[in-house]
Amino acid sequence: MHAESKQPSPPVAPGVFSTPSRGRDPVLLGGRCLECGRNFFPRPPRCPHCLGPVKEKDLGSTGRLYSYTVVRVRPPWGLPKPYGLGYVDLDHGGLRVLGLMAPGALQDLQIGMKLRLAVAELGNNLQGEPCLRPYFEPADVKPARGD
């Protein structure tokens, strides 16, 4: 009897993050306007300020926790209960982004702490299927690698 090989889950949305591979950390993917130089996350089709073209930009994978909340009501998209949301000031790109917090680290969150981006199967997509989702975890936690 052959073991069924599980197909990898798709990302929750295309062009939002890179998946970890061969020892490389995942990164957020945003955009940079070629005309006015502004950075964005997520990447818009055109710059909302000058309507210039926007090129994909690697926004890195680290930052500091600006603020957060733990949501204890029924979560959307099959996320774990409770789930955390936080604003993260990215180290690269000068942006503050809203992101999910690591489900197993909610009790450890502290304003100003160093965070690192991780990607794992977390919740479901709009079709109700499991999907990969980016989230932030404390930087001092060893990353789980699925190479």
pLDDT tens-place string over residues 128-140: 999 999 999 999 8
Q: How confident is the model at residue 6 (pLDDT cuts 50, 70, 90)?
A: low
pLDDT tens, residue by residue, 56-89: 999 999 999 999 999 999 999 999 999 999 999 9
pLDDT digits (tens, 9 = 90+) for 74-83: 999 999 999 9
How is 43-85 classified by DSSP, letter by letter?
A: PPSB-TTT--BEEEEE--SEEEEEEEEEE-SPPSTT--SSEEE
What integer pLDDT is reported at residue 144 of this predicted model?
Answer: 53
Residue 10 forms part of a structural domain: no
**Residue 95 located in a structural domain:** yes
Phi-psi region of 130 (alpha: psi -120 to 50; beta: other; left: phi over 0): beta
For residue 44, tell me if it sits in a domain: no
**pLDDT value for 140:** 86
Residue at 29 is within a domain: no
Residue 142 has pLDDT above 90, yes or no: no
Q: Could you give the number of structural domains in the chain?
A: 1
Enclosing domain of residue 88: 61-138
Assess if residue 7 is contained within a domain: no
Kindly report, residue by residue over 96-126, the tens digit of the pLDDT: 999 999 999 999 999 999 999 999 999 999 8
Q: What is the mean pLDDT of residues 46-52?
A: 97
Evaluate whether residue 53 is within a structural domain.
no
